[in-house]
């Protein structure tokens, strides 16, 4: 029969073994839980889903700060972009629509630890599939996997602001001349690149009293280069104001009581003796139409009609008569908008 000491020793051994087994179970459970976290919440697929979700939620700050999104100087140079390329689109209220109905189709690991994560999503009216290459970076707390994009999903949008340097995108108004100098500042049309978070849909346009561009929706997929043309055209108000200036100019011409009003598009030559002061009036003012030219908005040669009334005496027989004659004429001009918003007109 075992002594009390022997029984105590066996119990101690069993206790130690029990605690050791429990410790093994706990470590195993911890490692299993850690592995599950690294496969799910901290997995490559979840990393991509979080990025796409941030865009969908219009949390552009979070999307832009995702590891691997920012482009370094060498990457910018490879895209032909300056170091100070605009990141003005990196803010909330700019994206018209983010990716919707996101699904992860596959997550393929490579021998070097990188993952190719293919996601499907709806962008505008199209269903798009994109494969994102991600790679592990320094783990969180030394145990939780962290990722970054091996290839940045940032895209470039080359915006052509035609006939007006300003454009709107979402709630933002931008000036394409912001980082330009010299002759570039006065160009009638401006082309400027902007970095853009992708995938996303951006809507470009412009509306003011004098100019208006039809809104243009531009779907932008990751790591691509897109183009958007904001085609600003004269509004009815612009045309009306130019018409008013044309009418005023022609009315001023009629105040000159001469056969050939100076600086005016109409006049008359009379072989007979003029007895009184010619009186001019405008029968038809040229209707203003404006289209964009190379450097200004232009009105092509357009016909108008002036009328002259003057008393004349025939050199042949001395008869005195009242000459009433319509005189067709043409008028062409160019119009520009000054920095203060007023309109400058140059007759041709």
Angle, CA of 329, 331 and 334, to the nearest 5°: 175
CB-count exposure of residue 19 (10 Å: 0-12, 13-18, 19+)? exposed
Q: What is the pLDDT of residues 91-106, one digit of tens each?
A: 999 999 999 999 999 9
Residues near 140 by beta carbon (within 8 Å), at least 6 away in sequence = 42, 146
pLDDT digits (tens, 9 = 90+) for 253-297: 999 999 999 999 999 999 889 988 999 999 999 999 999 999 999
d(CA 58, CA 47): 17
Average pLDDT of the chain to the nearest whole number? 89
Q: Is the separation of the CB atoms in 80 and 163 below 8 Å?
A: no
The answer, yes or no, to whether residue 37 has pLDDT greater than 50, is no
| The dihedral sign for the CA sequence 15, 21, 25, 28 | positive
pLDDT of 184 reads: 87
Q: What are 169-195's pLDDT values in tens digits?
A: 999 999 999 988 888 888 999 999 999
From residue 64, how far is each of 42, 68, 82, 124, 249 by CA, in Å? Answer: 19, 9, 19, 21, 55
Predicted confidence at residue 34, as pLDDT, reads: 41
pTM for the predicted model, two decimal places? 0.83
**CATH node for 155-234:** 2.60.40
Query: Are 99 and 126 within 8 A, CB to CB?
Result: no
Domain boundaries of the chain, sorted by first residue = 24-72+95-149, 155-234, 236-347
Helix/strand/coil for 33:
helix
């Amino acid at each position: 029969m075992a002594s009390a000491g022997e029984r105590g020793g066996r119990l101690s051994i069993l206790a130690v073994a029990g605690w050791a087994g429990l410790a093994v179970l706990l470590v195993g459970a911890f490692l299993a839980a850690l592995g599950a976290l690294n496969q799910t919440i901290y997995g490559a697929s979840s990393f991509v889903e979080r990025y796409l979700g941030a865009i969908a939620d219009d949390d552009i700050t979070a999307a832009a700060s995702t590891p691997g999104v920012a482009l370094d100087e060498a990457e910018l140079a490879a895209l032909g972009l300056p170091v100070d390329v605009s990141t003005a689109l990196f803010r909330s209220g700019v994206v018209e629509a983010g990716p919707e109905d996101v699904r992860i189709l596959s997550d393929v690991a490579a021998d070097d630890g990188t993952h190719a994560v293919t996601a499907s999503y709806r962008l505008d009216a199209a269903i798009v599939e994109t494969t994102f290459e991600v790679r592990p970076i320094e783990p969180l707390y030394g145990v939780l996997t962290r990722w970054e994009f091996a290839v940045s999903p940032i895209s470039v949008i080359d915006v052509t602001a035609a006939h007006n340097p300003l454009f709107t995108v979402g709630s933002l108004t931008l000036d394409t001349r912001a980082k330009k100098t010299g002759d570039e500042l006065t160009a009638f049309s401006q082309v400027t690149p902007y970095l853009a978070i992708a995938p996303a849909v951006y809507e470009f346009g412009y509306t003011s009293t004098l100019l208006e561009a039809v809104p243009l929706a531009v779907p932008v997929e990751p790591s691509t280069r897109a183009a958007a043309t904001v085609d600003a055209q004269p509004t009815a108000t612009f045309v009306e104001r130019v018409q008013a200036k044309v009418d005023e100019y022609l009315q001023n011409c009629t105040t000159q009581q001469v056969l050939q009003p100076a600086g005016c598009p109409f006049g008359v030559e009379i072989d007979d003796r003029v007895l009184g002061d010619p009186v001019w009036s405008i029968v038809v003012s040229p209707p203003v139409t404006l289209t964009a030219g190379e450097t200004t908005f232009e009105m092509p040669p357009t016909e108008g009609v002036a009328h002259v009334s003057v008393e004349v005496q025939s050199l042949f027989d001395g008869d005195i008569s009242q000459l009433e004659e319509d005189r067709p004429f043409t008028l062409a001009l160019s119009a520009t908008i000054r920095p203060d918003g007023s309109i400058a007109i140059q007759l041709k």
